[in-house]
Amino acid sequence: MNSDSDIQIAGDILEVPHLLQAPREHPVTVAEFVGLARSIAADRSRWEHVVEYDATTRWYHRLSTGPGYEVWLLSWVPGQGTGLHDHGHSSGVLTVLDGTLTERTDRGTRVLGEGAQRVFAPGFAHEVVNDTLEPAISLHIYYPGLTDMPMHTKACTAGTAVEAEPAVVTG
């Protein structure tokens, strides 16, 4: 008997249906969006066959959508970048699937290797570029779906970003 608590559970707790939450079909929390990105990253068969590389412009493809969110796949040949921008009212999760990308913000420069993830709030300004000699692929989830991507001409201090632990990507 545990004397630290007056509450004891008798029997199988999983048999108490009102205590269980049904699994959600779509993510709604930051952690669930990060988890969605990690699961897509781990399943190369879901995205690898659609990747294309374009030397004249960054290639992108909307991989899927859900209620209020979009999942985008982008490829980056050496030297391609976004320019300094934010994502309007959308929050996002950026996951590097292959290669290495560099993110520049008013807080400094961060090299993002395969499996690295960035979670950012609405209005967060950054520039992402492939500074390497090898192509790169990234996955982006926006909530709500991306409708605006304002470009900036100088460093912007709006918003904050939180780094997520790198995902384990196999294959």
Residue 171 lies in a domain: no
In this structure, what CATH number is given to the domain that contains residue 122? 2.60.120.10
Residue 53 has pLDDT above 50, yes or no: yes
Residue 12 lies in a domain: no
Burial of 40 (0-12, 13-18, 19+ CB in 10 A): buried
Specify whether the CB–CB gap between 62 and 54 falls below 8 A: no
Cβ burial 52-82 (10 Å sphere, 16+ → b, else e): eeeeeebbeeebeebeebbbbbbbbbeebeb
Q: Which domain holds residue 40?
A: 24-152
Query: Torsion angle of alpha carbons 21, 163, 115, 44, nearest 10°?
Result: 40
DSSP H or E run through 129 = strand 127-129
Specify whether the CB–CB gap between 169 and 96 falls below 8 A: no
Residue 14 lies in a domain: no
* CA pair distance 124, 106, nearest whole angstrom: 10
Q: Report helix, strand or coil for 13.
A: helix
Residue 167 lies in a domain: no
Residue 156 has pLDDT above 50, yes or no: no
pLDDT on residue 137: 98
Residue 2 lies in a domain: no
Residue 64 tokens, joined? 């899927």
Residue 127 lies in a domain: yes
Q: How many domains does the chain have?
A: 1
Residue 11 tokens, joined? 């029997």
Mean pLDDT of the chain: 86
Q: pLDDT > 90: what percent of the chain?
A: 74
Q: What is the pLDDT of residues 86-134, one digit of tens each?
A: 999 999 999 999 999 999 999 999 999 999 999 999 999 999 999 999 9
pLDDT on residue 22: 73
* CA pair distance 101, 81, nearest whole angstrom: 9
Residue 18 lies in a domain: no
